[in-house]
């Protein structure tokens, strides 16, 4: 699908499918087009071209939308005077969901104790839980969660990670967005990475880690130039690290150590390092280079795409 706002392209010929039974992370820096994509799938904004399908059908064609897909997008407006319970009960009624689901859902998100409180007076963390409760009310097999950990305290973040994984283990199709690689590494087993509205990667988290956590040898030395000359003469690629240390890619610790020993240069440190996943992700999205999982498996049709 493509979505333009005037001349600006928010989503650029993006195409992917999401499979059931696992958490699919939707990763991209702020402004990459994640929310827009989710809003198109949920029928909240019209794509310029293309479409988003849930279980093979566009959102407006779903017969019982709340039972087929749950979405946690931006904080929804709640009726200021209504209690948490009545907010959900109203939603249940208008969607012909049995009222018994309200208490079940409140228990699921840990809001039983505030069921009688005014929805508008909730703390941010509690309001997030209420938003999730609304998404889960219809017990839907497909869930779209846009940055669900944003604004939560550490305990809330742990709780939501556990909940998301449990929901996936139950066989649901879950697309959860984040602008943090570290968050995705903890919850997702599959990754869709986008940058400037374009698809950058569609791959398993393990494959993404294997491809992107390139290790390098770090050298700290008072003889920068000599070390560089020695490395260059040996045909080894060296670059300058963020703190001024020399970073060598494509050579082992042993090879670098032997080179340095043979040329009697002084070094203060020679060590093996791994670029963090967060760095790999930032590099990938900053460059916005084409990164396609050409060696990866062909994915069978998902329930959402
Ligand atoms: P993300 O969710 O990844 O942070 P968004 O989907 O919110 O990204 O935004 C994608 C791009 O589209 C951004 O450049 C944003 O400024 C732009 N955008 C989003 N919504 C609108 C809108 N209603 N009008 C104009 N531009 C928008």
What tens-digit pLDDT sequence spans the chain (305 residues)? 999 999 999 999 999 999 999 999 999 998 999 999 999 999 999 999 999 999 999 999 999 999 999 999 975 667 778 999 999 999 999 999 999 999 999 999 999 999 999 988 888 889 889 999 999 999 999 999 999 998 788 999 999 999 999 999 999 999 999 999 889 989 999 999 999 999 999 999 888 877 776 788 999 999 999 999 999 999 999 999 888 999 998 889 999 999 999 999 999 999 988 767 777 787 777 765 434 344 333 333 334 44
Does the beta carbon of 11 lie inside 6 Å of ligand 1?
no
Ligand 1 mean position to 201 CA, how many Å? 20
Task: Extract long-range pairs of 76-82: CB within 8 Å, 24+ residues apart.
Answer: 76/131, 76/134, 78/119, 78/120, 78/127, 78/130, 79/119, 79/120, 80/118, 80/119, 80/120, 81/118, 81/120, 82/118, 82/119, 82/120
pLDDT of residue 301: 34
pTM metric for this prediction: 0.79
| Encoded tokens for 181 | 């690689």
Atom of ligand 1 nearest to the CA of 39: 6
Provide the Cα torsion 38, 158, 65, 140; round to 10°. Answer: 130
Q: What is the pLDDT, as a whole number, of residue 278? A: 77
pLDDT confidence of residue 178 = 94
Q: What is the CATH number of domain 216-273?
A: 3.30.70
288 C-alpha to ligand 1 centroid (Å): 17
- Rounded Cα distance between 225 and 223, Å, is 6
**Every domain of the chain and the residues it spans:** 3-204, 216-273
pLDDT at 120: 84
For Cα atoms 292, 294, 296, give the angle at the middle one, nearest 5 degrees.
105
The angle formed by the CA atoms of residues 290, 296 and 301, to the nearest 5 degrees, is 100
Instruction: From 2, 25, 33, 73, give the residue whose CB has the most ligand 1 atoms within 8 Å, as the site to mutate.
Output: 33
Ligand 1 atom showing the smallest separation from residue 37 Cα: 6
Q: How far is the CA of 179 from the centre of ligand 1 (A)?
A: 14
The architecture CATH gives domain 3-204: 3-Layer(aba) Sandwich (3.40)
Ligand 1 near 195 CB (within 6 A):
no
Q: Ligand 1 centroid vs 293 CA: distance in angstroms?
A: 26
pLDDT value for 189:
95
């Amino acid at each position: 699908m493509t979505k333009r706002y005037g001349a600006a392209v928010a989503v650029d010929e993006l195409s992917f499918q999401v499979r059931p039974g696992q958490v699919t992370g939707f990763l991209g820096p702020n402004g990459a087009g994640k929310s827009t994509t989710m809003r198109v799938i949920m029928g909240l904004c019209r794509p310029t071209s293309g479409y988003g399908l849930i279980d093979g059908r566009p959102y407006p064609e779903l017969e019982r939308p709340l039972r087929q897909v749950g979405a946690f997008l931006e904080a929804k407006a709640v009726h200021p005077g209504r209690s948490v319970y009545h907010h959900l009960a109203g939603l249940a009624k208008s969607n012909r969901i049995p009222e018994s689901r309200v208490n079940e859902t409140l228990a699921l998100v840990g809001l039983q104790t505030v069921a009688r409180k005014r929805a508008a007076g909730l703390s941010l963390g509690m309001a997030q839980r209420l938003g999730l409760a609304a998404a889960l009310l219809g017990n839907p097999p497909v869930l779209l969660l846009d940055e669900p950990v944003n604004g939560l305290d550490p305990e809330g973040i742990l709780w939501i990670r556990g909940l998301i994984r449990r929901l996936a283990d139950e066989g649901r199709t879950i697309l959860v967005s984040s602008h943090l690689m570290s968050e995705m590494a903890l919850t997702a087993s599959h990754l869709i990475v986008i940058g400037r509205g374009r698809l950058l990667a569609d791959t398993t988290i393990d494959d993404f880690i294997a491809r992107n956590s390139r290790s390098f040898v770090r050298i700290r030395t008072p003889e920068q130039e000599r070390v560089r000359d020695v490395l260059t003469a040996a045909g080894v690629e060296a670059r300058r690290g963020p703190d001024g240390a020399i970073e060598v890619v494509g050579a082992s610790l042993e090879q670098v150590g032997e080179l340095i020993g043979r040329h009697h240069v002084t070094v203060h440190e020679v060590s093996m390092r791994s670029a963090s996943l967060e760095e790999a992700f930032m590099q990938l999205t900053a460059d916005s280079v084409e990164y396609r999982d050409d060696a990866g498996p062909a994915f069978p049709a998902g329930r959402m795409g």
